[in-house]
Amino acid sequence: MVHGHSVKFMIVAVDLNKTAMGHGPWTIDHGQKSLFLRNMSISKTYEPKQTEDKWYNYWLEHNFFRSVPDEREPYTIVIPPPNVTGVLHMGHMLNNTIQDVLVRRARMKGKNACWVPGTDHASIATEAKVVAMLKEKGINKKDIGREKYMEYAWEWKEKYGGIILEQLKKLGASCDWDRTRFTMEESLSEAVIDTFIHLYKKGWIYRGIRMVNWDPQGKTAVSDEEVIRKEVNQKLYYIRYKVLSPESEVLSQNATLDSGLSTSDFLTIATTRPETIMADTAVCINPNDERYKHLHGKKAIIPLINREIPIILDEYVTMDFGTGCLKVTPAHDLNDYELGQKHGLQVIDILNDDGTLNEKAQILVGEDRFAARKKIVALLEADGYLDKVEDYKSQIGFSERTDAVIEPKLSMQWFCRMDEMAKPALDYVLKGDIKLIPDKFINTYRYWMENVKDWCISRQLWWGQQIPAWYLPNGQFVIAKNREEAFELAKGLASHISHLKSEDLTQDEDVVDTWFSSWLWPISVFDGFKDPNNDDINYYYPTNDLVTAPEILFFWVARMIMAGHEFRGELPFRNVYLTGIVRDKIGRKMSKSLGNSPDPLGLIADYSADGVRVGMLRSSPAGNDLMFDEEHCKWGRNFANKIWNAFRLVKGWEVDDRNECPNRLAIEWFESRFNQALTEIESNFSQFRISEALMATYKLVWDDFCAWYLEMIKPAYQHPIDRETYTATIAFFENILKILHPFMPFITEELWHDELFGGRSEYDCCIVAQLPTIGKINTQVLSDIEMVKQVITQIRNIREEKRISPKEKILLSAKDNAGVSYKVYESVISKLGNISSFNIVSDKVVGAVSFMVSTDEFYVPLADQLDPIAECAKLRKDKDYYAGFLRSVNSKLSNDKFMANAKPEIVEAELKKKADAEAKLKVIDENLAALACDLQ
RNA sequence: GGGAGUUUAGCUCAGCUGGUUCAGAGCAUCUGCCUUACAAGCAGAGGGUCACUGGUUCGAACCCAGUAACUCCCACCA
């Protein structure tokens, strides 16, 4: 292809030379020559590389993203803060493209658009990275202490933090970067501490022992939402426990299976976690289980360690699972814990924080839980306690951040009560004050809010906001902002401790969950805690739209609504647009391990930011997953190129000032068509149908503007265009740039500044241009041109069928009783159909190929190419079809119930269908007769 | 186990209040074109039992019931 182009250019160059030397076969006048040179100087394809950086910097330098409160209506979006140390992935690309489209549109509608960017400190993920970095240096977190550790962590954050924000710039994100916030910066941290104290005073924050999801790798508790359950192939081990009758003597510690005891002296439990048997404090059976009636009231002995445990009864045990005997391990299983609470069982925790066994296990001390599992199975087997092993599939929880297997663990944690806050948050959504888009998420939201559990907010990490709890030497604690305040409170609390000193207080080691800072985001980014009445918060809050992923509907969106209500008495945003998950083209979720996620910046380099933006938006309606395929980006790039080439065409025109304008109808048509499309686009946007709005824009540009309008008005080669058409076309083009801008900011800004559109002052940019308003729509012209387009398509069709070159001119006649005055559109029809002569005739043209548009008849005289047999067959097929159609219409019209129930306009439409079908049939019959088809 | 959703062309999806002359796009396919804006293009064509079964209705892709397949969310039967 490339080779072909260069050849073409070479020929052209030779011609030029000839002309210059004055012995060419034809001469070019001055105007044509300049036109020719101008086209040569513009690249045939759009080249985004330089323009993207150029315009992004221009926008930045001219402060177009900057927003400060003024008299205009605000439009605000707060970005869902990505992890500060994260890198851009396809999900971010989609999400932020949508936000940018919304923000740019609002800006172009005259609103004061403010998109607040920022990042989140992602305590677990970041701490994991920092700990790993320190480990490489041979440093242990505990050895250097909290203060020094935080220095390293901040250093890390400064070094790697915010890369993702730089990447967003490549996408064209028009964030107000001056407002960039970070969830751990001072004022945001202060807000976290203040809200903690506020909620504690309300009695909504409390400390308690709970079974939490323990991440032994991150060495912290994580919330339920941060646990990902996956189905895993496991083994189910059947283990024999000796049974003791209460009346019998304690068996010899050396007794084994071989010592002559019968099997009735054993019971068998089934477990996936044999390494926890040392923590068992009971065996549980269902009281209704006939098989085990003889065990009621007896005791069992844990193998290997020979500890005695009671056999308890509870209907919780499913009789038909496993053996019907359940080992109860309150310290290491939530259900067992609850069972233990109910039955007053002892709790024995045999695991260390890192997942190794502690001395309470008595055996295998120091072994990792998974290594211990293997070893204990061997020990059990050696001593004959292992009955059998089965393959078994079950769900295991993994830590979202570290992918470690979650260990249920009892520990002292801080909790936030959710019930009171959930109620108003639910109401906002149920009443429609906050809209979820799509609304199918309302049900999910409601379910969660009605079944909300208390939120475990403490994390055993250092990277984050330290919990403002201060402990007295006697174990009592106070909640205070700092040591001084804590000391004051502590003095009151512990007046009996006469010599309590400030230094005696120790602050809680833990930090709060990252979500405990992100739930304040829409308020804290405007300093709404520090200064609740400042201009920013009063102006920008509540924000307008939130664009995020449904995965975090609960732990982020719902909590922001709670915080908004609790701390400002107002909702934080009005619309929540939930994007889908970006998957690969065969439907797999994009993930690092699968390696199926393309590099976003690579895509931008290959297909342009504009191309990737529209490629992503194309097939991603709200809430639907996006099956990503690079082909979409290619489509986007081609679209940009199409716009570029439309520009090249118009740019190349010479204008003359003759007084005639041959294109008034085309101009009027496109104007109406533009306004019609604008109506659709507005309507789509108002319903957040962004991909549909894009498609409507695409069709307007590609089909209506390029394929039809420009072809209609395009002057013949080497001919100038009239001033009136030119001016109108430039105006259309400018409007097209405007409506394209939110989707494709770079190419539109680039073209906007071309001299084609007149001189632009420094601040006259597409990004701040005002979107066109909907103007008049001439429906008559719209429908007429639709018919004209059909005529042209039919002509092209005949050319294709009859193998007539598009270059060959043909004749066309139309019957004079047509519904549309086609003669008015003669120039359009002749030009696009390449018609040499267009006549209106009163009689059928014999020996012509005929076609119909609606009920209007057209003839293309092609006597020599006419195949009467084929024509007759075609006519008969049409006749059959229309006859059948007429029958169905007539059956409706003769149906009394239809006539009685259908709306009048429907009946009218049916009557029109009937008349049209009859007219068509009449014409078909005439044509059949004219061709003497009866004889064929 | 509970809940929600999806099922329309080979693929990805529209189809909004049940009612246009045969249910629409894009991609892919086929045919013909290097036609002076664009081969990243132009012109044209083919392609559908709207998952299945029943019901409501004058009329169903659309409403209702059932069935099947898939997806997601919630729920820790060891």
Taking C1' of B58 and every protein CA, the nearest residue is: A898
Determine the Cα–Cα distance for residues A684 and A678; give it in Å rounded to an integer: 10
Distance of C1' in B20 from CA in A538, Å: 51
Distance of C1' in B10 from CA in A518, Å: 45
Q: Output the CA angle A619-A737-A741, nearest 5 degrees.
A: 50
Determine the Cα–Cα distance for residues A836 and A415; give it in Å rounded to an integer: 84
Give the pLDDT of residue A35: 42
Distance of C1' in B10 from CA in A585, Å: 15
Q: Output the CA angle A290-A292-A294, nearest 5 degrees.
A: 105
Whole-prediction pTM value? 0.88
CB-CB contact of A685 with A734 (8 Å): no
Determine the Cα–Cα distance for residues A555 and A893; give it in Å rounded to an integer: 58
Give the pLDDT of residue A351: 92
The nucleotide whose C1' lies nearest the CA of A5 is B34
- Tell me the two tokens of residue A752: 């906007």
Distance of C1' in B10 from CA in A104, Å: 38
What are the distances in angstroms from CA A43 to CA A23, A648, A706, A740?
30, 9, 18, 21
Give the pLDDT of residue A246: 54
Taking C1' of B59 and every protein CA, the nearest residue is: A898
Determine the Cα–Cα distance for residues A745 and A617; give it in Å rounded to an integer: 14
Give the pLDDT of residue A20: 32
Helix (H) or strand (E) holding A694: helix A690-699
Distance of C1' in B16 from CA in A785, Å: 26
Taking C1' of B14 and every protein CA, the nearest residue is: A692
Taking C1' of B43 and every protein CA, the nearest residue is: A796
Taking C1' of B38 and every protein CA, the nearest residue is: A645
Residue A749, amino acid: E
Distance of C1' in B19 from CA in A486, Å: 74
Helix (H) or strand (E) holding A28: none
The nucleotide whose C1' lies nearest the CA of A586 is B11
Give the pLDDT of residue A789: 92
Give the pLDDT of residue A245: 67
Distance of C1' in B9 from CA in A699, Å: 20
List bases, strand B, within 7 Å of protein CB.
3-5, 11-16, 19-22, 25-28, 31-45, 57-59, 71-78
So what's the ipTM on this one? 0.94
**Lookup result for tokens 């260069």:** A6
Distance of C1' in B19 from CA in A909, Å: 9
* Residues 6 or more apart in contact with residue A502 via CB below 8 angstroms: A483, A484, A487
Determine the Cα–Cα distance for residues A758 and A752; give it in Å rounded to an integer: 9
- Tell me the two tokens of residue A57: 């910097």
Taking C1' of B11 and every protein CA, the nearest residue is: A585
Other CB atoms within 10 A of residue A284 CB: 24
Distance of C1' in B67 from CA in A691, Å: 34
The nucleotide whose C1' lies nearest the CA of A44 is B38
Distance of C1' in B78 from CA in A395, Å: 12
Question: 10-residue block means of pLDDT along chain A (936 residues)?
Answer: 33 32 31 42 87 97 98 97 90 93 97 97 89 93 94 94 93 98 96 97 92 87 79 87 68 43 75 93 90 90 93 87 90 88 90 92 93 94 91 82 86 90 92 88 86 88 96 92 94 76 93 95 97 97 94 90 96 92 80 79 94 88 81 92 95 89 94 93 90 92 95 91 96 97 97 94 97 93 91 90 87 86 92 92 86 88 78 82 84 86 85 87 86 73
CB-based burial label for A132 (10 Å; 0-12, 13-18, 19+): exposed
Q: For chain A, how far is it from start to end, CA to CA, in angstroms?
A: 49
Taking C1' of B20 and every protein CA, the nearest residue is: A909
Taking C1' of B27 and every protein CA, the nearest residue is: A631
The nucleotide whose C1' lies nearest the CA of A914 is B21
DSSP A167-217: HHHHHT----GGG-EETTSHHHHHHHHHHHHHHHHTT-EEEEEEEEEEETT
Determine the Cα–Cα distance for residues A385 and A364; give it in Å rounded to an integer: 17
**Lookup result for tokens 């039955």:** A343
